């Protein structure tokens, strides 16, 4: 089977199903889980088990929605005002019922959240994969017991992936079968942003700078505010949902627009109107180990990128001179102006270096490498039924 021309290996001994437990909703920002599982659906039936919604008027139930071929989203609906233990018990019962009714005995459990271990650890799938995409314990409003549950998950997991190199370096001593798979890229999708767009502004007096992603405790509001104040003729477009912070704290200036969430399929259209792409993240515990998927996406769109010194952006993108690194507003402004002092030949050479770098990676290649690790791990593990 092929996606974007890349052929996946097919092994008859692979389980037929992946049951994924996620802290992110499928219809939230399209990111690592959606990229990986959409492609893995070429080899597996994917069940994407989300966190509960507390809107059931009587009994708890599961809502199953087919979102694409071989991908089904599962949402637990629970009554409100439950204790934490009651929530766990109900989800355990709903999960057991799902496994029985959907015939999911030939199954891989794929965790994005250790919290799901509370209602699934009694089961015995053929393989347990933990795709550790972030240091969730460092995020705002993180559950108090998430670090403890992660340690438990690392004890029982057969295979662990990390979403970046820095996260791998921080955790590699905790598991003997762990591998770093940094954020990858759907190059063809974002190359669409390189098409000429009549809205694109091309002088350094009236530029359009953009950010696309979640706006939360990681986002440097003051950096954007300071840039917008110092450059009132520059336009700043902020795309994405606002979560875990008060929307009233967002800088309100005439040259800053908040577009809200944009469908992944339409995102290249918005990026095509930008002159500069921004990664304006604070340096705090929540950003210490992140590997922003937006970095290669911006580059594939042909956009010059300026980022704060996030470790997994500095290495490899900064040291390879693909992304400019700054800390403060005056540095971001200087780097923006410096870009427009470059000659056309310099810009062309930079883009050639970007393309050469991006050609070495893709979500298809990442999935294929993950599948290989899954196959190798299965060969070393006795077959155990989930029932």
Tens-digit pLDDT string for the chain (387 aa): 344 444 455 566 789 999 999 999 999 999 999 999 999 999 999 999 999 999 999 899 999 999 999 999 999 999 999 999 999 999 999 999 999 887 676 899 999 999 999 999 999 899 999 999 999 998 888 899 999 999 999 999 999 999 999 999 999 999 999 999 998 999 999 999 997 654 554 555 689 999 999 999 999 999 999 999 999 999 999 999 999 999 999 999 999 999 999 999 999 999 999 999 999 999 998 899 999 999 999 999 999 999 999 999 999 999 999 999 999 999 999 999 999 999 999 999 999 999 999 999 999 999 999 999 999 999 988 655 444
User: Distance (Å, rounded) from C-alpha 136 to C-alpha 114?
Assistant: 9
Asked whether residue 333 is domain-assigned, the answer is yes
Whether 243 and 135 map to the same domain: the answer is no
User: Distance (Å, rounded) from C-alpha 67 to C-alpha 27?
Assistant: 9
Burial 84-101 (b: 16+ CB within 10 A, else e): eeebeebbbebbeebbee
Whether 176 and 268 map to the same domain: the answer is no
pTM above 0.85, yes or no: yes
Decide: 24 and 57 in contact? Cβ < 8 Å.
no
pLDDT digit string (tens) for 302-330?
999 999 999 999 999 999 999 999 999 99
Asked whether residue 52 is domain-assigned, the answer is yes
For the chain, how many structural domains are there in total?
2
Decide: 94 and 76 in contact? Cβ < 8 Å.
yes
Given this model, what pLDDT does residue 139 score? 86
Domain range for 306 is 187-358
Whether 343 and 274 map to the same domain: the answer is yes
Whether 289 and 308 map to the same domain: the answer is yes
Residues in CB range of 235: below 8 A, 6 or more apart: 201, 206, 207, 208, 209, 255, 257
Strand 276-279's sheet: what is its strand order?
A: 256-260, 235-239, 208-212, 276-279, 305-307, 324-325
User: Distance (Å, rounded) from C-alpha 238 to C-alpha 211?
Assistant: 5
Given this model, what pLDDT does residue 12 score? 67
Whether 180 and 193 map to the same domain: the answer is no
Decide: 323 and 313 in contact? Cβ < 8 Å.
yes
Whether 159 and 263 map to the same domain: the answer is no
Asked whether residue 332 is domain-assigned, the answer is yes
Whether 311 and 327 map to the same domain: the answer is yes
User: Distance (Å, rounded) from C-alpha 125 to C-alpha 122?
Assistant: 10
Asked whether residue 303 is domain-assigned, the answer is yes
Whether 52 and 148 map to the same domain: the answer is yes
Whether 202 and 169 map to the same domain: the answer is no
Decide: 111 and 131 in contact? Cβ < 8 Å.
yes
Given this model, what pLDDT does residue 203 score? 52
3-class DSSP assignment, residue 262: coil
Given this model, what pLDDT does residue 3 score? 47
Distances (CA, A) of 229 to 120, 210, 220, 246, 353: 51, 16, 15, 21, 33
Cβ neighbours, 10 Å, residue 219? 21
Given this model, what pLDDT does residue 28 score? 92
Whether 194 and 163 map to the same domain: the answer is no
Asked whether residue 386 is domain-assigned, the answer is no
pLDDT digit string (tens) for 115-139?
999 999 999 899 999 999 999 998 8
Whether 345 and 368 map to the same domain: the answer is no
Give me the CATH number covering residue 309.
3.40.50.2000
């Amino acid at each position: 089977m092929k996606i974007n021309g890349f052929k996946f290996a097919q092994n008859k001994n692979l389980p037929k199903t992946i049951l994924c437990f996620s802290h992110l909703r499928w219809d939230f920002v399209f990111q690592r889980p959606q990229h990986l599982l959409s492609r893995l659906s070429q080899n597996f039936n994917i069940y994407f088990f989300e966190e509960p919604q507390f809107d059931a008027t009587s009994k708890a139930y599961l809502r199953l929605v087919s979102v694409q071929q071989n991908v089904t989203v599962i949402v637990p609906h629970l009554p409100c005002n439950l204790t934490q233990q009651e929530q766990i018990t109900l989800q355990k019962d709903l999960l057991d019922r799902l496994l029985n009714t959907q015939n999911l005995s030939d199954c891989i459990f794929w965790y994005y959240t250790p919290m799901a271990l509370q209602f699934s650890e009694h089961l015995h799938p053929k393989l347990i994969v933990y795709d550790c995409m972030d240091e969730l314990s460092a995020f705002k409003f993180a559950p108090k017991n998430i670090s403890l549950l992660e340690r438990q998950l690392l004890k029982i997991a057969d295979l662990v992936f990390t979403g970046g190199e820095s996260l791998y370096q921080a955790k590699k001593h905790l598991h003997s079968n762990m591998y770093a798979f940094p954020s990858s890229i759907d190059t063809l999708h974002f190359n669409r942003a390189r098409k000429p767009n009549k809205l694109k502004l091309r002088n350094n007096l009236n530029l359009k700078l953009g950010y696309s992603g979640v706006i939360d405790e990681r986002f440097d509001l003051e950096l954007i505010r300071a840039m917008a104040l110092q450059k009132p003729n520059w336009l700043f477009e902020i795309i994405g949902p606002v979560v875990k912070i008060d929307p009233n704290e967002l800088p309100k200036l005439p040259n800053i627009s908040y577009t809200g969430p944009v469908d992944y399929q339409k995102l290249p259209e918005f990026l095509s109107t930008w002159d500069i792409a921004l990664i304006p993240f604070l340096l705090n515990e929540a950003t210490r180990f992140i590997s922003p998927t937006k970095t290669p996406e911006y580059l594939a769109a042909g956009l010059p990128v300026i980022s704060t010194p996030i470790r997994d952006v500095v290495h490899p993108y900064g040291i390879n001179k693909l992304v400019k690194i700054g800390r403060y507003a005056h540095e971001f402004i200087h780097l923006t102006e410096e870009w427009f002092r470059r000659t056309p030949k310099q810009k062309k050479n930079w883009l050639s270096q970007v393309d050469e770098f991006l050609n070495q990676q893709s979500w298809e290649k990442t999935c294929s490498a993950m599948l290989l690790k899954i196959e190798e791990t299965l060969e070393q593990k006795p077959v155990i039924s989930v029932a």
